[in-house]
């Protein structure tokens, strides 16, 4: 029987290198596989290749007793199916597929956009709250990339000096290594230029564009903490997160007349189905406006 590390290390390497998953996803998928191996005891690729739906169902039932909800259970099932397909391929099983097991129903929540004024005020608030001027300029530039260009926070923080000088468009590498070209508004370009002018760290093609206080790559956690502080000062709702800025970018573009196919390209969605959720968001925003403004609703 193989040692657990002999199974988890190639699984993690496969996710990171072949599937180009984010470090966060790799950690989560490896942890999920580790829990399965702990429950099974001694295992090897051959043993894992023989696992059936009943065994997988029993494992997930035990996890539900630990208190995980539908969303977490669905994610674990997806990760386990991927791991078992990998195991069957390692074991040489022909036409390797995952055990057939339906996950719990998960109600897909709608993104909660914030208004354009709130987005701009949030970026300004983060800048004003920073310990040093260059850190404030950095955080404002990051947030404007999320709201002004629709980048995911991981995409913004993965930019390097090779992206410079910024022009009217920016090539972004998104999920799965897929590249897309997004337009850059002058306010976004100016914010990045302001950060670079104030930053104490030199810019090189291979180094992270956005640096932490000690010079290393800026982490998502630091951006999230800065936003949380500014949100309290500005009295913004808890939904005003860095990721909400990307949702707001999509919702406001759709409300201004953008078509779904163009929005899909700008957001880097693999399927149009992922973009179609914003049609519901836009309708929800309009309904809120109606409820707040219509005399009959207010009366």
pLDDT for 57-66, tens place per residue?
Answer: 888 888 878 7
- Confidence band (pLDDT; 50, 70, 90) for 289? very low
Closest CA to 25 of 76, 84, 98: 76
Sole residue written with tokens 């984010």: 22
pLDDT tens-place string over residues 277-288? 444 444 444 445
Catalytic residue among 152, 189, 211, 252: 152
* Percentage of residues in the chain having pLDDT higher than 90: 16
Catalytic residue among 20, 175, 198, 229: 175
Residue 243 designated active-site? yes
Sole residue written with tokens 């949702």: 247
Per-residue tokens: 215: 């010079």
pLDDT, residue 95, reads: 62
Residue 205 designated active-site? no
**How many Cβ atoms are within 10 Å of 122's Cβ, its own excluded?**
26
Report the C-alpha dihedral over residues 155, 246, 250, 171, rounded to 10 degrees: -20
pLDDT tens-place string over residues 9-32? 989 998 888 877 777 778 888 998
* CA 83/CA 70 separation, integer angstroms: 20
Catalytic residue among 14, 147, 195, 278: 278
Per-residue tokens: 150: 């629709």
- Answer yes or no: are the C-beta atoms of 188 and 145 closer than 8 Å: yes
| pTM score over 0.75 | no
Per-residue tokens: 66: 């630990």
Per-residue tokens: 226: 């800065």
Residue 246 designated active-site? yes
Give Dmax (Cα) for the chain: 72
* CA 192/CA 171 separation, integer angstroms: 15
Residue 64 designated active-site? no
Catalytic residue among 90, 138, 246, 252: 246
Strand partners, 169: 183
Per-residue tokens: 57: 């169902």
* Higher pLDDT pick, 4 / 254: 4
Residue 14 designated active-site? no
Residue 278 designated active-site? yes
Burial, 24: exposed, middle or buried (Cβ in 10 Å; 0-12, 13-18, 19+)?
Answer: exposed
User: Do strands 179-183 and 169-173 pair parallel, antiparallel, or not at all (unpaired)?
Assistant: antiparallel
* Higher pLDDT pick, 54 / 105: 54
Closest CA to 77 of 44, 49, 36, 107: 36
Residue by residue, DSSP assigns the chain as -B-HHHHHHHHHHIIIIIS---HHHHHHHHHHHHHHHHHH-SB-HHHHHT--HHHHHHHHHHHHHTT--HHHHHHHHHHHHHHHHHHHHHTT-TT------PPPP---PPP----HHHHHHHHHHHHHHSSSHHHHHHHHHHHHHHHHH---HHHHHT-BGGGPSP-SEEEEE-GGG-EEEEE--HHHHHHHHHHHHH-SSPP-TTSBSSB-TTSSBPPHHHHHHHHHHHHHHHT--TT--HHHHHHHHHHHHHHTT--HHHHHHHHT-SSHHHHHHHHHHHHHHHHHHHHHH-HHHH-
Average pLDDT, the chain: 77
pLDDT tens-place string over residues 212-262? 999 999 998 888 888 888 877 677 777 778 877 877 777 656 655 555 566
């Amino acid at each position: 029987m193989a040692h657990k590390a002999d199974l988890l290390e190639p699984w993690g390497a496969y996710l990171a290198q072949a599937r180009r998953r984010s470090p966060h996803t790799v950690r989560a998928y490896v942890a999920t596989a580790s829990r399965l191996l702990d429950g099974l005891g001694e295992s090897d690729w051959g043993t894992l290749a023989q696992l059936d739906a009943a065994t997988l169902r029993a494992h997930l039932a035990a996890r539900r007793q630990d208190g995980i909800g539908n969303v977490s259970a669905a994610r674990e099932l997806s990760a386990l199916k991927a791991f078992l397909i990998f195991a069957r391929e390692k074991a040489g099983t022909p036409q390797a597929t995952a055990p057939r097991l339906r996950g719990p129903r998960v109600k897909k929540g709608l993104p909660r956009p914030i208004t354009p004024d709130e987005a701009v005020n949030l970026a300004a608030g983060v800048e004003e709250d920073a310990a040093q001027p260059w850190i404030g300029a950095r955080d404002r530039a990051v947030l404007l990339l999320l709201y002004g260009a629709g980048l995911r926070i991981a995409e913004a923080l993965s930019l390097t000096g090779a992206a410079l000088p910024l022009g009217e468009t920016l090539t972004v590498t998104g999920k799965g290594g897929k590249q897309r070209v997004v337009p850059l508004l002058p306010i976004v370009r100016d914010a990045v230029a302001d950060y670079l002018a104030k930053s104490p760290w030199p810019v090189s093609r291979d180094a992270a564009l956005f640096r932490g206080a000690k010079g290393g790559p800026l982490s998502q956690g630091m951006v999230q903490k800065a936003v949380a502080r500014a949100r309290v000062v500005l009295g913004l709702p808890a939904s005003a997160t860095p990721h909400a800025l990307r949702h707001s970018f999509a919702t406001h573009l759709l409300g201004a007349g953008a078509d779904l196919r163009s929005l899909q390209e700008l957001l880097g969605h693999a399927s149009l189905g992922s973009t179609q959720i914003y049609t519901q968001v836009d309708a929800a925003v309009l309904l809120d406006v109606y409820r707040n403004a219509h005399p009959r609703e207010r009366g």
